[in-house]
């Protein structure tokens, strides 16, 4: 190409690329919602991801209600009234680990590096993923409550109590997800994220009032149960759905959520910024 042809080619290229004013930079809200939509599209293209939202609560409700309900409460119907809110909390809290698994998968596939090069608010990829997973938590909650209603569960708190209980659980789960987002940035593989999360979640979920009244446990174990953040979430959700006054438990649930976010959100952003 001669020197006279170079300016002509540059002008033609500018005419193609600069056909109008430069669009404004996307806001933090817009980019976060875009990544949230991306998280939902994963479910659309891989519907098997909803198995944990559907099969796990079905197995838990049927197994514990009809296998242990009579022995624990003397009646399966009475035990269902007690255990269903706890299984609701357990189900949603357990699936929070998939936030970290999905993030780690993006890292392994190189998607994470491409996202980091975009001219966007840096935390939007993480916040969007958490918002998208909040929809999964809502779907899981609706499924568990519907299953309970079919089996005979009747919340004395009515629709308002159920909605309030689910809202408290969503806030707690959103905060809890930051733990696994941080783990997803540090772990070497998605399998490692799952292994670490299961090792933490199983003791926390079972050493709580999900399945039994903690008053039947040894004193030293009751102490752990009472400081377990999942226990406060169970008490709050169960009380709201039953129409009881549980203002203190709601307060402690929000305090636990705030503490978790205050610790793990900065750790996550630090790991996100240092990731190479």
**Residue 157: pLDDT above 60?**
yes
Average pLDDT score over the chain:
83
**Tokens standing for residue 188:** 């070497």
Residue pair 57/147 in contact by the 8 Å Cβ criterion: yes
**Residue 92: pLDDT above 60?**
yes
The pLDDT of residue 4 is: 53
**Residue 12: pLDDT above 90?**
no
Average pLDDT over every residue of 121-140: 81
Residue pair 204/124 in contact by the 8 Å Cβ criterion: no
The pLDDT of residue 46 is: 67
pLDDT tens by residue, 168-185? 999 999 899 899 889 988
pLDDT tens by residue, 212-264? 888 888 888 899 999 999 999 999 999 999 988 888 999 999 999 999 999 99
**Tokens standing for residue 104:** 């780690």
Residue pair 226/235 in contact by the 8 Å Cβ criterion: no
The helix/strand/coil state of 155 is coil
pLDDT tens by residue, 135-151? 888 888 888 899 889 98
Any idea what DSSP says for residue 209? Answer: T
**Residue 10: pLDDT above 70?**
no
The pLDDT of residue 238 is: 94
**Residue 94: pLDDT above 80?**
yes
Q: What is the phi/psi pair of residue 263, to 5°? A: -85, -50
**Residue 75: pLDDT above 60?**
yes
Burial category of 101 from C-beta neighbours within 10 Å (exposed 0-12, middle 13-18, buried 19 and up): buried
The pLDDT of residue 276 is: 56
The pLDDT of residue 136 is: 82
Does the pTM of the predicted model rise above 0.85? no
The pLDDT of residue 14 is: 61
**Tokens standing for residue 190:** 């998605």
Among the ranges given (103-107, 205-209, 218-222), the one the predictor scored with the smallest mean pLDDT: 103-107
Contacts of 217 (CB under 8 A, 6+ apart): 225
Distance of CA 115 to the CA centre of its chain: 21
Residue pair 90/100 in contact by the 8 Å Cβ criterion: no
Contacts of 175 (CB under 8 A, 6+ apart): 256, 257, 258, 260, 261
**Tokens standing for residue 271:** 């790991």
Furthest C-alpha separation in the chain: 93
Residue pair 180/96 in contact by the 8 Å Cβ criterion: yes
The pLDDT of residue 258 is: 95
Any idea what DSSP says for residue 210? Answer: T
CA atoms within 13 A on the CB side of 171: 19
**Residue 70: pLDDT above 70?**
yes
Spatial separation of the C-alpha atoms in residues 231 and 39, rounded to whole Å: 29
């Amino acid at each position: 190409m001669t020197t006279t042809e170079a300016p002509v080619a540059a002008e033609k290229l500018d005419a193609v690329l600069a056909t109008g004013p430069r669009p404004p930079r996307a806001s933090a809200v817009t980019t976060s919602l875009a990544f949230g939509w991306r998280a939902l599209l994963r479910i659309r293209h891989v519907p098997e991801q909803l198995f944990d939202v559907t099969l796990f609560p079905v197995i838990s409700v049927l197994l514990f209600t009809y296998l242990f309900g009579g022995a624990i409460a003397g009646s399966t119907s009475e035990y269902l009234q007690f255990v269903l809110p706890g299984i609701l909390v357990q189900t949603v809290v357990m699936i929070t680990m998939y936030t970290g698994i999905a993030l780690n998968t993006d890292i392994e596939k190189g998607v994470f590096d491409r996202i980091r090069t975009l001219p966007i608010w840096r935390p939007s990829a993480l916040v969007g993923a958490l918002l998208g997973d909040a929809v999964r938590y809502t779907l899981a909650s609706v499924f568990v409550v519907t299953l309970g209603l079919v089996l005979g569960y009747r919340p004395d708190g009515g629709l308002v109590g159920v909605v309030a209980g689910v809202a408290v659980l969503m806030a707690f789960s959103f905060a809890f997800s930051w733990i696994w987002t941080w783990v997803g940035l540090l772990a070497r593989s998605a399998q490692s994220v799952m292994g670490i999360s299961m090792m933490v979640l199983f003791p926390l979920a079972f050493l709580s009032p999900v399945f039994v009244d903690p008053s039947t446990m040894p004193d030293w174990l009751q102490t752990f149960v009472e400081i377990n953040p999942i226990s406060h979430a169970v008490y709050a959700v169960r009380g709201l759905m039953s129409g009881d006054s549980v203002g203190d438990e709601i307060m402690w649930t929000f305090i636990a959520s705030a503490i978790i976010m205050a610790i793990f959100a900065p750790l996550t952003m630090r790991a996100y910024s240092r990731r190479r």
